[in-house]
């Protein structure tokens, strides 16, 4: 039985005049980044920024320790692998939702089942789960279809919602992010977490305030009682807000401003490698690309064309000039911290314009072709600038990419409707296990969440076979070899065009203390404002 008697680190959320941990005066924490979250529905859109913010209001059964990145108890106090396919979790007692109602096993079962709903985008986290059963008011069992060595890691992103609240407000099913339809949970929130959602005007402002009856009150480092988040798309405006003192923290400072920020005596910059890889996906499903001058066929179905696009990208130049060192060029779709990664899968095909031109000619496109190219403009480090640079590089080999850029809120629903021929995506790996990426990105699109972010609809039966075998393999050495084999096949097929692993800087006032995390999110329990 993995049980933990040491109390979890938690957030103290006393009122402004209350005594706070370590004698620190209670404070407001003001921060910004380029984009807003797409929804407050915790199972609707698997978006890293949203997941991190949601964690302030909605809690999971298990969460990562921000310093060790080992799973530790949160709303569960311990777990026991009863059998290879049965995980029993003991739930924390005395936990109250923000409306004062008790958190029970009924809520835990409901929340996990909700994450398994057809409109949920959290299928990578419920991968392998067969059913969830209430044992008693404080205990649940999760039964899996086969052994799953990363199930506990998956639970870190499955947050708990009140069953009664969801039923009362017609929100038992997650909002379908691909449509404009809304449920109550899209704009409203009611969790067990240290903060309560007070205000959210999408793309304008979000305010969270302390939950006075939070179960973890009194065992933490933070003195934050209010969080104010203001999304600001314009980089110059974000940086001006930090320099003027209007905000305390910028999640995504501009690379070109970092030298100046590091020299400012009132500011500091923290850097860390993120577990996120940036890549391009390609429509390998349609028989004819929408908006292309090539009629009757899809050039992107030809591996020679995909490899030509790959070898036409000078990723070292992009890392040096566009990213200013905040990117590690890679040939893999996962970062080095992720199980399954090897130096071999990390190696890129060489940048070679002549080789790219020959590949295009061999494929029957010596004069190139036109293709739709979609990118976000406020999600990843210099995302729009990267896509502009790549557009120019592809033009050198005759591929005329018609670049269009969109904000996060409309970009992700668009690509999930399969409306982009070539698209940019950044994929973090919260489980630190390659199965999370393989299941979502290269498994053929199918039932049960297979290929839920395989929006280019790449499909290879051999890949599916390897992934499905790895899902039930109990020998960890064999399982890791299978993960690496799948990544090697992804490289050989050029299923995607890998670009780089992000290196994340955070900029803040010197009075702010935070712990930098590889998933690029703040731990609300550990923030102090001096």
pLDDT-derived band of residue 451, with 50, 70 and 90 as boundaries? Answer: confident
**Model pLDDT, residue 440:** 93
Sign of CA dihedral 240, 241, 246, 251: negative
Here the tokens at position 103 are 């958190």
Look up the domain containing 218 and give its range.
28-266+510-529
Give pLDDT, residue 474. 82
Number of domains in the chain: 2
Residues 220 and 349 reside in one and the same domain:
no
What is the pLDDT, as a whole number, of residue 19? 31
Rounded to two decimals, the pTM is 0.79
Residues ≥6 apart with Cβ < 8 Å to 478: none
The three-point CA angle 119-123-126 to 5° equals 125
Residue 4 is predicted with a pLDDT of 31
3 state DSSP class of 202:
coil
175 and 286 share a domain?
no
Task: Tell me the pLDDT tens digit for each residue of 288-326.
Answer: 998 899 999 999 999 999 999 999 999 999 999 999 989
Closest CA to 265 of 530, 506, 511: 511
Is pLDDT above 50 for 21?
Answer: no
In a domain, 81, yes or no: yes
What integer is the mean pLDDT of 193-201? 97
Q: What is the mean pLDDT of residues 467-488?
A: 92
The reported pLDDT for the residue numbered 450 is: 85
- At 111 the three-state DSSP class reads helix
pLDDT value of residue 12 = 24
Beta-strand relationship, 76-83 and 195-201: unpaired
Two tokens, residue 492: 């050989």
Which pLDDT tens digit goes with each residue over 250-278?
Answer: 999 988 899 999 999 999 999 988 899 99
CA–CA separation, 33 and 232 (whole Å): 6
Q: How far apart are CA 185 and CA 276, in angstroms?
A: 28
pLDDT at 345: 95
Q: What is the pLDDT of residue 1?
A: 33
> Two tokens at 467?
């992934």
CATH of the domain at 393: 3.10.105.10
Q: 203 in a domain, yes or no?
A: yes
Looking at residues 467-479, what average pLDDT do you find? 90
Kindly state whether residues 77 and 47 are assigned to the same domain. yes
Q: Is residue 19 part of a domain?
A: no
What average pLDDT does the segment 445-468 reach? 90
Cα gap 151→265, rounded to integer Å: 45
Q: Cβ distance 498 to 427 under 8 Å? A: no
64 Cα distance to chain centroid: 14
Q: Does residue 90 sit within a domain?
A: yes
Residue 427 domain flag: yes
Residue 7 has pLDDT above 80, yes or no: no
Continuous H helices in 364-474: 383-395, 408-416, 434-441, 461-472
Same domain, 199 and 326: no
Better pLDDT: 148 or 195: 195
Q: What is the dihedral sign for C-alpha 332, 338, 340, 342?
A: positive
**What is the Cα–Cα distance from 230 to 335, expressed in whole angstroms?**
30
Where residue 218 falls among pLDDT bands split at 50, 70, 90?
confident
Q: How confident is the model at residue 25 (pLDDT cuts 50, 70, 90)?
A: low
What is the number of other CB atoms lying within 10 angstroms of the CB of residue 523?
23
DSSP conformation class of 249: E
pLDDT at res. 178: 85
Q: How confident is the model at residue 129, as a pLDDT?
A: 94
User: ∠ at Cα 512 (509, 516), nearest 5°?
Assistant: 105
Please compute the mean of the pLDDT values over residues 439-453 and round it to a whole number: 87
The answer to whether residues 201 and 279 belong to one domain is: no
Please tell me the number of Cα atoms within 13 Å of 65 on its side-chain side: 11
Integer CA distances (angstroms), 312 to 126, 168, 307, 308, in order: 38, 55, 9, 6
Categorize the per-residue pLDDT at 284 as very low, low, confident or very high, splitting at 50, 70 and 90: very high
pLDDT (tens digit per residue) in 50-91: 999 999 999 999 999 988 888 999 999 999 999 999 999 999
Range name among 116-120, 237-241, 406-410 with the lowest pLDDT average:
406-410
Burial (CB count <10 Å: 0-12, 13-18, 19+), residue 349: middle
Asked if 238 and 246 touch (Cβ cutoff 8 Å), the reply is: no
39 domain residue, yes or no? yes
For position 486, what pLDDT does the model report?
Answer: 97
Q: Which two tokens stand for residue 105?
A: 């096993």
Query: Cα–Cα distance between 64 and 71 in angstroms, integer?
Result: 4
**Do residues 242 and 388 both lie within one domain?**
no
pLDDT of residue 448: 66
Same domain, 131 and 210: yes
pLDDT for 252 equals 92
> Are 240 and 302 contained in the same domain?
no
Q: Are residue 185 and residue 302 in the same domain, yes or no? A: no
The whole-number pLDDT of residue 11 equals 27
User: What token pair was written down for 488?
Assistant: 């090697």
Q: What is the pLDDT of residue 156?
A: 96
Q: What is the mean pLDDT of residues 232-245?
A: 95
Verify that 354 and 232 share a domain, yes or no.
no
Among residues 13, 40, 33, 422, the alpha carbon closest in space to that of 194 is found at 13
Candidate from 219-223, 377-381, 499-503, 524-528 with smallest mean pLDDT: 219-223
Rounded to the nearest integer, the mean pLDDT of the chain is: 91
CB atoms near residue 118 (< 10 Å): 11
433 within a domain of the structure (yes/no): yes
The set of residues, in sequence order, having a beta carbon less than 8 Å from that of 39 and lying 6+ positions away, is 45, 50, 175, 177, 186
Local structure of 360: helix, strand or coil: helix
Contact in structure between 322 and 307 (CB atoms under 8 Å): no
CB atoms within 10 A of CB 363: 18
Residues 320 and 366 in one domain: yes
What is the rounded distance in angstroms from the CA atom of residue 309 to the CA atom of residue 305?
A: 6
What is the number of H-type helices and E-type strands within the chain? 16, 20
Residue 22 lies in a domain: no
Of 2-16, 178-192, 286-300, 372-386, give the lowest mean pLDDT range: 2-16
Reported as a single tens digit per residue, the pLDDT across 114-171 is: 999 999 999 889 988 999 999 999 999 999 998 888 899 999 999 999 999 999 999 9
Q: Which of 371, 376, 424, 423 is nearest to 397 (CA)?
A: 371
What are the DSSP calls for 294-344, one per residue?
Answer: --SS-GGGSHHHHHHHHHT--HHHIIIIISTT-EEE-SSSS-TTSBT--HH
Average pLDDT of span 423-430: 94
Q: Are 312 and 356 in contact (CB under 8 A)?
A: yes
Structure tokens belonging to residue 362: 């061999």
Are residue 474 and residue 518 in the same domain, yes or no?
no
Name the residue with higher pLDDT: 510 or 17: 510
Q: What is the CATH number of the domain that holds 52?
A: 3.40.190.10
């Amino acid at each position: 039985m993995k049980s933990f008697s040491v109390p979890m680190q938690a957030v103290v959320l006393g009122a402004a005049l209350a005594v706070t941990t370590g004698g620190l005066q209670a404070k407001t924490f003001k921060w910004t980044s380029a984009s807003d979250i797409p929804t407050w529905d915790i199972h609707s859109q698997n978006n890293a920024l949203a997941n991190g913010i949601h964690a302030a209001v909605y809690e999971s059964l298990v969460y990562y320790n921000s310093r060790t990145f080992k799973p530790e108890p949160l709303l569960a106090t311990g777990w026991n692998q009863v059998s290879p396919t049965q995980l029993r979790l003991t739930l924390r007692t005395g936990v109250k939702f923000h409306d004062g109602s008790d958190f029970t096993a009924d809520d835990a079962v409901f929340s996990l089942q909700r994450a398994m709903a057809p409109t949920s985008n959290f299928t990578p986290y419920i991968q392998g789960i067969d059913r969830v059963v209430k044992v008693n008011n404080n205990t649940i069992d999760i039964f899996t279809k086969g052994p799953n060595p990363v199930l506990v890691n998956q639970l870190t992103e499955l947050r708990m919602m009140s069953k009664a609240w969801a039923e009362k407000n017609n929100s038992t099913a997650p909002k379908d992010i691909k449509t404009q339809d809304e449920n109550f949970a899209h704009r409203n929130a009611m969790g067990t977490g240290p903060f309560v959602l007070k205000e959210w005007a999408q793309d304008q402002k979000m305010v969270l305030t302390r939950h006075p009856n939070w179960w973890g009150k009194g065992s933490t480092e933070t003195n934050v009682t209010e969080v104010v988040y203001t999304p600001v798309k314009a980089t110059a405006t974000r940086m001006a807000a930090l320099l003027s003192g209007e905000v305390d923290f910028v999640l995504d400072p501009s690379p070109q401003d970092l030298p100046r920020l590091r020299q400012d005596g009132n500011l500091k910059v923290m850097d860390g490698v993120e577990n996120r890889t940036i890549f391009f996906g390609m429509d390998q499903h349609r028989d004819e690309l929408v908006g292309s001058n090539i009629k009757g066929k899809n050039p992107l179905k030809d591996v020679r064309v995909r490899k030509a696009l790959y070898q036409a990208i000078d990723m070292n130049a992009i890392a040096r000039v566009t990213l200013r060192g905040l990117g590690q060029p890679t040939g893999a779709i996962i970062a080095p911290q992720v199980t399954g990664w090897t130096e071999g899968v990390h190696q890129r095909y060489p940048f070679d314009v002549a080789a790219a031109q020959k590949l295009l000619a061999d494929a029957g496109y010596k004069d190139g072709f036109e293709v739709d190219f979609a990118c976000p403009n406020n999600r990843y480090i210099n995302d729009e600038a990267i896509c502009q640079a790549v557009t120019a590089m592809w033009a050198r080999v005759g591929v005329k990419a018609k670049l269009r850029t969109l904000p996060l809120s409309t970009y992700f629903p668009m690509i999930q409707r399969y409306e982009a021929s070539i698209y940019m995506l950044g994929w973090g790996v919260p489980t630190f296990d390659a199965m999370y990426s393989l299941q979502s990105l290269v498994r053929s699109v199918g039932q049960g969440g297979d290929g839920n972010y395989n929006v280019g609809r790449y499909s290879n039966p051999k890949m599916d076979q390897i992934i499905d075998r790895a899902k039930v393999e109990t020998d960890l050495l064999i399982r890791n070899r299978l993960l690496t084999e799948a990544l090697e096949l992804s490289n050989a097929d050029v299923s995607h065009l890998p670009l780089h692993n992000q290196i994340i800087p955070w900029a803040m006032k010197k009075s702010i203390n935070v712990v930098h995390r590889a998933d690029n999110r703040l731990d609300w329990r550990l923030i102090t404002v001096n």
